[in-house]
Structure 1
C-alpha cells in the first residue's frame, strides 16, 4: 500500500458504525503529523438499543455491514486498519475477539488490525494493572461480553456498569457531568484503573482530567485504540493531555 503527501508516515483505515460521531473527532485530535485516518461506515438503519432485543438488532446491523465498510476503506490503500467499534470486539471473550480480528485481517489482505478489545487489553498490560472497574453505554448482554473478555485476559473485573443508553446516536450526547458521576460511583481503593468502552462516548479529555483527581489511570477506549494502532505501526508519538497511556507508554 502506498503513502501519499499528507499520510507520508501511515494511512490508517478506520471502520465505525454509521451512527458514530466521536471516533473521527478523536482521530483528528490525536493524529500525529504525517499520519492520516480514513473512515468507512458500517450502515445502521435502526439505531435503537433500549432493550436486549434492539441492542442485539443493532449488533447484527453492524456485523452485516462491516464487510462493505472495509471494502470501501480499502480503496484508500491504507497501511493499517483500526476498528472504531467496541461491542462486537468483546463478544464471546478473548476467542471471539481473535476470531473477529482474524476475519477482518483476512478481508484486508493481512494488514495489521487493531480492535477495541485488544487495544484496551494492551493498554492495561502496559500500565501494569490487574484490578479494574469498567463502564459502558450498553445493555446487560454486552456488559457480560466485556466482563468475560477482561476476565479471560487475566484481569480482576470488580464491576461493569452499563449506562443503558437508548440509542447508538444518543451515546454521543452523554456529557462530562454524567461521566464524572459514574467515575465516582465505580471507583474505590481496590480499583487500580478504570476502563471506558463504547467508541461513540466522548471520553478522552474527561479521562485525562479524571486521572488527576482519582489518582489512577482512566482508559478511554478511543485513546487506547489510537495508541495501540500507532504503536503497532512503530510510532512513539506522545501527548500531554490525553491520559497517562498516551503520555508515558
Structure 2
C-alpha cells in the first residue's frame, strides 16, 4: 500500500512539533510531495532548552496527549512526535513507551518519533557507521549516540555545537547550517546524521549530499519519511536526499 491508497483521499499525517523553530520544513516537504500526502502540524509547548530535565518534561505523556487531541481534528492516518531530543532522552524503552502512549491518545493510530525515524532510515539505507553533527550540548548528544547504538547504528564520531536552545538553532542562517554539517563529516563513515528538528535543513540536503558524496539524514527529513512509512511505502521524492530516492522501502 502506498500513502495515496487511503480510499479516495490524500492521506494526512500528523506531526507534533515542539514550540516554534523550523516547522516551515513541513509545508516545504508537502509541496515536494505533491498530492501524495498532507502534512498537518500541531505544536507542543514547553521550554526549548537542550537539557535533560527540560526535555523529559517536553516529551511527557500529558503534553503529547494534549497535542494528539489537536491533531485528531485533522483526521490523520498516523502521528509522529517530531522531536529528536524529546524522545531519545527517554532511552530506547522509554521512547517506545512514549510512542505507545501517543498512539493510545490518538485512538490507536500508528505513531512514532524522530529518534526511531533515524534508526529506521539507517536500517533502510544499510548504514552501519555514521558521524553525527549535533547542535546539542555533549551530554544530550551522547544520549542520541546511545540510542542509535541500541538500534544497531555505530556512531564513530560525534561533534556538538553546544547550542543551548532550539530557538537559537532555528535562527541559524543556511550558510551556518551548511558549515556546521560539512565541517563535521568523517570520510570513513557511511552517512552524516543531523538530529535537531529545530534546524531548517530540507532545502539543503541534496547540495550537502553532492558535496559530501554520501547520504545526509536530517531530523525533519527522516520525520516526514517516517510518517509516510507508517501508512505505506514512502514514495520517491526529488529534492529530499538519498532516503527519498529509494523505491519500495
For this structure pair, what is the TM-score category when the shorter chain's length is used for normalisation?
0.7 to 0.9
Whether the 8 Å CA contact 1:133–1:160 is kept in 2: the answer is yes
> Once structures 1 and 2 are overlaid, which stretch shifts more, 177-186 or 197-206?
177-186
Q: Give the superposition deviation at 1:248.
A: 2.0
Q: Secondary structure at the match of 2:197?
A: coil
Q: Partners in 2 of 1:58 and 1:91 — Cα distance? A: 7
Q: Partners in 2 of 1:184 and 1:236 — Cα distance? A: 27
Label 1:170 to 1:25 Cα distance change in 2 as closer, same or farther (>3 A). farther
Whether the 8 Å CA contact 2:58–2:86 is kept in 1: the answer is no
Q: Secondary structure at the match of 1:186?
A: coil
1:193 to 191, 194, 206: 191
- What is the match of residue 41 of structure 2? 39
Label 1:119 to 1:237 Cα distance change in 2 as closer, same or farther (>3 A). same
- What is the match of residue 170 of structure 2? 172
> Once structures 1 and 2 are overlaid, which stretch shifts more, 138-147 or 88-97?
88-97
Q: Partners in 2 of 1:171 and 1:9 — Cα distance? A: 32
Structure 1 residues without counterparts, runs of 5 or longer: none
> Once structures 1 and 2 are overlaid, which stretch shifts more, 227-236 or 142-151?
227-236
- What is the match of residue 221 of structure 2? 223
Q: Secondary structure at the match of 1:13?
A: strand
Whether the 8 Å CA contact 2:29–2:202 is kept in 1: the answer is no
Whether the 8 Å CA contact 1:8–1:35 is kept in 2: the answer is no
| Residues 175-229 of structure 1: CA deviation (Å, up to 9, x unaligned) | 2322332333322221110011111101122221111121111011211121122
Q: Give the superposition deviation at 1:27.
A: 4.0
- What is the match of residue 112 of structure 1? 110
Structure 2 residues without counterparts, runs of 5 or longer: none
State how many pairs are aligned: 239
Q: CA RMSD in A?
A: 2.3
Q: Partners in 1 of 2:33 and 2:64 — Cα distance? A: 24
Report the TM-score, using the length of structure 2 for normalisation.
0.86
